[in-house]
A and B are shown apart, each in its own frame.
Chain A
Amino acid sequence: MEVSAEAKRIMVVALGKLYSSRTQRGGLRLHRSLLLTLVMKSARDIYHAAQAAAEPGCEQQQHPAAEMMTTEPAGAPDLQASPPSRTLPEEKVACASTETRKSAENKENRCPAAQHTRKRRGKAAAEPDFLPRKKAKLEPGSCPQQPLVVNSVLVDYVKCGSELGNAMPLHRAIAAC
C-alpha cells in the first residue's frame, strides 16, 4: 500500500539520519533529533493505521519488527524499574491509535512461541524487511535481569546522547526484531 510503503521509507530514512548524526561535528543536535523522532512517530502511527485499515480482520496481528518499544539505556539508573508498566501509559499518551497500540503491546509481551500459533499471517504482518532480524523480548519479571536486546545502532545513539544528561533523548526506540 502506497501510504504504508511511504511511511516505512520515512522511518528508515529517519533512523539513518539519527544514526549518522552521532558522528556529526558539534555533537547531537537536539532540535534535529526531536524533529526526526516526531517524523518517525507520525510515520509509525500512519503505518500502523494503514496496516490496520488494510486488513481489518487482522487488527490484532502482531507486527514485532515494526513495533516501537520503550527501552532503558544500558547505563540508566532506572533500569531496575519495571518497564512493562511504564511503557503502557507512555504509549497511551504518545499514540493516536491507542486501541491498536494496546493490543499490539500485549502481543509483544507474549513469548515468541505463542505468536507462531496464529493460523494465518497475511503479507502485511510479515516483518518489514528494513529491520534486522534480532528478536526482542519484553516479559514481566525478566527485565531487571535481562536488558532489552536492542538494535546496536540505537544503543550507541543513546549512549552518546551525553548532551542530554542521563535521560534518553528518544522516547521510543525501534526494537530489534
Chain B
Amino acid sequence: MYVFEEERKSYLKADIISTVEFNSSGELLATGDKGGRVVVFQREQESKSQPQRRGEYNVYSTFQSHEPEFDYLKSLEIEEKINKIKWLPQQNAAYFLLSTNDKTVKLWKISERDKRPEGYNLKDEDGRIRDPSTITSLRVPVLQPMDLMVEATARRVFSNAHTYHINSISVNSDLQTFISTDDLRVNLWNLEITDRSFNIVDIKPANMEELTEVITSAEFHPQQCHTFAYSSSKGSIRLCDMRQAALCDKHCKYFEEPEDPSTRSFFSEIISSISDVKFSHNGRYLMTRDYLTVKVWDLQMENKPLETYQVHDYLRGKLCSLYENDCIFDKFECVWNGSDSVIMTGSYNNFFRMFDRNTKRDVTLEASRENSKPRAILKPRKVCVGGKRRKDEISVDSLDFSKKILHTTWHPHENIIAVAATNNLYIFQDKVN
C-alpha cells in the first residue's frame, strides 16, 4: 500500500506542469513538465458551420525534450524539468521553440508530414532491402498522402555554458540571438552556433562569501534588440544596453523601490525577491512579481513603480507558516494581455488574479474541475480576511497551499488564457456574445 502510494506520487510529480507559453500567433500553446516532456496544443480551425464554437486547443505534438542527466564531475543530478519554453516567430511551415532545463537549452523544430514517398526500387513497402537481382524494372517513387504526423526534432543543443541553474531564456527581437540566464550570469547565444556563447552579465563576486544577490529572471526588450532587463533577489531590476559595452555589468537603468520600514520582518528579503519580470508588448513598461505583489514600472521612472497590485496581502500575517512549509519560496509568474491593459498572476488554492490597469478593478478566479464545467462562466472568488465570512467566501485558513498557480499565459491577441494548476492545464476563453 505504501509502495503504491509512493509510485503514484512520483508519477504525478513528473506530470506537474512547469511552464506554459503561447506562440506569437496564439495558434499553438506549449507546456513543459517536470518529467522533461513538452506537449504542444494547436487551436482547431474555426468552422463556418459553427461560428459560436471558438477554436479549441487539442494536442498537436508531444515529445521528450530533456532527460535526466548526471554531472559526474560534481556528482550532481541534473533535473529534466523544463524551466522555460520560448517560441520563435514562425518563418516557414515549421514551428520552432526553445526549451530549457537547469543546464541545457534546446531548439526544437516541430513540423508536419502528410505525404510519404512510395514505390522505391531498392526496398519494398516494409522497408526490407530487395535483392538487386530480382529488380527487373525501374519506377519513380511518388509522394502519397498519409495520416498527418507531427515530428519534433532537436535542431540545436546549447549546453555547457551554465554553472548555476538556468531560470529564464528570452529570444531577441532580431530573431538571431537569445539569452539564457542563471543565478549569476547571463549568456548571449546565436541560434545557429551551439559551441560558444558570450557572457554579457556576471554578478559572481570574487569571494562567494560576499554574495548578497542573485539574478532571478531576464528578458529582452520586445522591440529594441540591444536592450534587456534582469531582476534580482533583492527586488531590483536592471536595464542594460548591449551597445554600451561587451560586458553589461553596468546597468543603464536601475529600478528599485525603497523598502517600507513599517513592513519589515524576518522575511522581508524573501518576499521582496522578484520571481518574474516581463516587458509589456508596447515596450514601455516592465512588470515584476514578488511574493505578495505585482508591480508595473514605467521605463522612464526608476525610483518607484507606476502601479502596485496586492495579489494576496492576507498572507502577510502568515509568512512564518509559509516559510516553514516552503511556500514562501514559490516563484509566481505574471503576464500581460495583448493590449497591456490587464495583467494576470497566480496565487494559492488554484486561484489566479487579474488586474485591469484602466478601471483598477481586479478579480479572483479559480481553476478547478469541481467549480467549472465546460462552457460555464467562471465565478469570481473572494477570500475572507477577517470577521464574518460570507456564504461564498473562503477563509484564509481554509486555503489549500499545495494547489498553487505559478504558470499562466495569455494569448497574444485574444482573451484566451492558459493556466497550469499542478498537473492540469486549464484554458479559458472570453464569452462569445
Contact = CB atoms under 8 A, between A and B. Distances in A.
B207 interface: yes
Given A39-B269, A42-B269, A25 B75 contact: no
B201 to A, nearest CB: 15
Contact of A7 (B214, B216, B266, B273): B266
A162 B210 contact: no
B251 interface: no
A10 B323 contact: yes
A54 interface: no
B391 interface: no
A34 B233 contact: yes
Interface string B205-226: 0011111111010000000000
A26 B71 CA distance: 10
Contacts of B77: 25-27
A30 B209 contact: no
Interface in B70-118: 71, 74-79, 81, 102
Contacts of B75: 160, 162
A165 interface: yes
Given A25-B77, A162-B74, A162-B75, A34 B329 contact: no
B154 interface: no
A149 interface: no
B329 A35 contact: yes
A61 B318 CA distance: 34
Interface string B312-353: 000000001001101001000000000000000000000000
Contact of A26 (B76, B212, B270, B323): B76
A44 to B, nearest CB: 10
B233 A35 contact: yes
B198 interface: no
A161 B13 CA distance: 26
Interface in A1-26: 6-7, 10, 13, 17, 25-26
Given A7-B266, A39-B270, A34 B214 contact: yes
A131 B423 CA distance: 40
A48 to B, nearest CB: 14
Contacts of A46: 266
B266 A10 contact: yes
Contacts, number: 85
Nearest to B102: A26
A30 B162 CA distance: 13
A135 interface: no
Contact of A31 (B79, B163, B233, B324): B233
The A interface, classified by DSSP as helix, strand, loop or mixed, is helix
A20 to B, nearest CB: 10
Nearest to B204: A165
A25 B79 contact: yes
Nearest to B216: A31
A163 B76 contact: yes
Contacts of A35: 233, 269-270, 273, 329
A168 B208 contact: yes
A154 to B, nearest CB: 14
B156 interface: no
Interface residues of A, number: 31
A164 interface: yes
A171 B210 contact: yes
A13 B324 contact: yes
Contacts of B426: none
Contacts of A7: 266
Contact of B79 (A17, A26, A164): A26
A167 B209 contact: yes
A162 B75 CA distance: 9
A29 B183 CA distance: 9
Contact of A164 (B81, B102, B167, B208): B208
Contact of A29 (B165, B209, B268): B165
Nearest to A28: B76
A32 B30 CA distance: 28
Pairs A-B, 3 closest by C-beta atoms: A167-B208, A171-B209, A26-B79
Interface of B: 71, 74-79, 81, 102, 163-165, 167, 183-184, 207-214, 216, 233, 266-270, 273, 320, 323-324, 326, 329
Given A169-B208, A170-B209, 5 more contacts: A7-B266, A25-B79, A31-B233, A163-B74, A171-B211
Interface of A: 6-7, 10, 13, 17, 25-27, 29-32, 34-35, 38-39, 42-43, 46, 70, 90, 160, 162-165, 167-171
16 contacts: A6-B266, A13-B324, A27-B77, A30-B165, A30-B214, A31-B165, A31-B214, A35-B270, A39-B266, A42-B266, A70-B209, A162-B74, A162-B76, A163-B163, A169-B211, A171-B210
